[in-house]
Structure 1
Amino acid sequence: MQIKNNHSNYLQNPWIIGMIKLLVLGGCLYIIITKLQDQSINLNELIWPASFGFIIGLVLLLMVFNWYLEALRWKVSLQPFEAISIKNAWQVILGGLALNWVLPFTSGDLLVRISQQQDKYKATSAAMLNRGVMLCFTLLLGLYGMSKLAIEYNVNGWFTFLLIFSYPIIRWLFKKSLDQFLSYFRNMSRMILLKIILLSLFRYVVFVFQFYLLLSAFLPDLSAELLLAGIGWIFLIRSVLPLFFGGVGVREASGILFFEPHVSDLQLIIVPIFFIWVINTVMPSLVGLIFVFKFKFNIAQ
């Protein structure tokens, strides 16, 4: 089927995406090193928030809840055509997260989700619906962040051009997806669709709140409006770029670009971004490695 062929093409030409990912990583590391070369990085001199331990504990609890919501969302998405337990859904989600470290554009997640279901087309439709809904929230907050960045760097004209240029492309992509997988949506009840949208929104709010907790602890002088705009910008950049090593470097570079005009000590930007990456990506990915070997045969097949 077409899905298998697409992944086979990627596996036969991994150097293409690999080169792009290396260029992205190299560019991000260049930005970080360039910005930090005039500053001495010394975590011993960093002023840690008084409530840091409590905040980390809360962010960790929210991480577990965050991935539970994603497993529940996947379970609900499959409900119209295939039953799956919350335990199996959680294994699929975490296993896919682990594979995202080596495959581009989070396709490891997509590959695991599709390979574990009987109906590949409907599973693909469910996965694309999940991504599409989450992408809408990412775009909304991301465009808000981009507008703030455009004002900061006085490039409002380019921002307006980007919005106008992006609209027909986004519309075409959604139309192609709907045309190809329309049968899945025809059989979906409005109640299930509403559940998927609400779970997506709830989950998006959870990980935005996680990030906000950490950033506000290290940057208490910045307004909530500016912090949310920065979070939207960072999530948007992380979503549209092919990543190496779970996105290391990309978050930090985009965070520096956004917050540098407002923060004198760049450590205060890098440290919370690093912690949110470790908690939300590295830790669940390590758990997901346990399940990757279980899915290996099905993926190869």
Structure 2
Amino acid sequence: MQNTNETNPKTSILSEKLISLFKILLFVVIVWMLYKTFKEKQQNIGDLIVECQKTLLWENLWKGILLILLIFFNWGFEAKKWQQLALKIEDISFKEAFKGVLMGLSLGFITPANLGDYAGRMWKFQHQKRAESIGAILLGNGIQFYISLLFGTLSFVYFVFRKEQFTSINFILILIFSFSLYLGFFAYLKRHLFYLFLLKIPFLKRFAHTVKVLENFEIQEVMEVFFWALMRYLTISLQFVLVLLIFGIDLNLVDLLAIVCLIFLVKTIVPAINFLGDLGIREFSAIYFFGFYHVNTSAVIAATFVLWLINILFPVLLGSILVLKTRVF
């Protein structure tokens, strides 16, 4: 009697071809989105080249080398954070976590609300455990958001007093940010209530198991995740300061750090509907805040664009290659 459970060889080959075709399509879409980004920014390429030529000084050499080296620390800290979060679900190596982060970055680049990031990070887990990983990803993103909100709020307070922007709107914003910080801390302490809340809502009940993993994290484990998230935030902030210094933005270090934190705050709280990897948001907020210091606008735009190139463009390309080479589905 023939075993009906045996897989048809032709069906298996067809499935593999369809998966390969889908991955190639993903790669093409990612490259096309990168091309679209450059095309939309084409009017700034001339100014970018001029500003880059001004940076070709020996005194900037060590800054440039450090800037490049920090790329690996930036995404390395993110991978370490993800590895720490994933341990509650399945044991993965740092290498696997790093690949997951890069693949998530690439897939997130072409999807609204960065949804592709979830798929990229889930690739290593067994099918039945992928739903649990959503809760871990949400926790990691929540902690990163909290750090950006914390430093952004402190920087906004500094900015308001430094530039004497004592308006009612600014004070309302400070109150909103401060309350959000408290709310975030309270949400962590009462995270088990979120799971119970989902269980009581009929149409949300089926999603409850995705956040149940949050209950398994002890305070020490959360603090470890917080540490790696903080290290990543400090790394990318240092990168931004370095690239601003390279492009001749001559401000004191405290002001530079404050503006950088404000730019990250705006990027964090603006809804994630930008298909171009937050490039436009970062440019707009940089021009706005640096406008109070009367610096070279072209240099600011060039600096933000270069930071995007090294921190987003190259990792996205690398991640897209990993998508091609990895059996994700």
TM-score, normalising length: structure 1: 0.76
Q: 1:182 to 1:41 in 2, by over 3 A?
A: closer
- Say whether the 8 Å CA contact 2:83–2:93 is kept in structure 1: yes
Q: Partner amino acid for 1:269? A: V
- 43 and 187 in structure 1: CA distance in 2 versus 1, 3 angstrom threshold: closer
> For the Cα contact (< 8 Å) 1:80–1:187, is it kept in 2?
yes
1:273 is displaced (CA, Å) by 1.3
- RMSD after superposition: 3.3
Q: Which amino acid aligns with 1:227?
A: L
* Residue 266 to residue 290, structure 1, CA distance change in 2 (3 Å): same
Tell me how far apart the structure 1 counterparts of residues 290 and 61 of structure 2 sit (CA, whole Å). Answer: 24
C-alpha distance in 2, partners of 1:125/1:229? 32
SS of residue paired to 1:100:
helix
Aligned partner of 1:72 in structure 2 is: 80
Shift of 1:278: 0.7
The 2-side partners of 1:92 and 1:42 are apart by 32
Paired position in structure 1 for 2:54: 47
* TM-score, scaled to structure 2: 0.70
Give yes or no for the alignment of 1:251 onto 2:282: yes
How far off is 1:231 after superposition? 0.5
1:134 aligns to what? Answer: 144
1:1-301 alignment, distance < 5 Å:
41=47, 43-44=49-50, 47-48=54-55, 49-114=57-122, 116-118=124-126, 119-150=129-160, 152=163, 154=165, 156-165=167-176, 167=179, 171=183, 174=187, 178=192, 179-180=194-195, 183-219=212-248, 221-241=250-270, 242-293=273-324, 298=329
Q: Is the 8 A contact 2:83 2:94 kept in 1?
A: yes
Structure 1 residues 168, 148: closer, same or farther in 2, change over 3 A?
Answer: closer
Distance in 1 (alpha carbons) for counterparts of 2:79 and 2:225: 11
Contact 2:249 2:300 (8 Å CA) reproduced: no
Give unmatched runs, 5+ long, in structure 1.
1-28
Q: Aligned partners of 1:278, 1:177: CA distance in 2, in Å?
A: 37
Given that 1:133 and 1:200 are in contact with CA atoms closer than 8 Å, whether structure 2 keeps it comes out as yes
* Structure 2 residue matching 1:84: 3-state secondary structure: coil
Amino acid at match of 1:87: K
Shift of 1:112: 2.2
2: CA distance, partners of 1:55 / 1:288: 26
Stretch moving more, 187-196 or 129-138: 187-196
Q: Higher Cα Rg: structure 1 or 2?
A: 2
Aligned mates of 1:158, 1:89 — CA distance in 2: 42
Pair 192,249 (structure 1): closer, same or farther in 2 beyond 3 Å:
same
Q: Distance in 1 between matches of 2:116 and 2:92?
A: 20
Unaligned runs of 5+ in 2: 1-39, 196-209
Q: What is the rounded CA distance, in whole Å, between the counterparts of 1:269 and 1:44 in structure 2?
A: 13
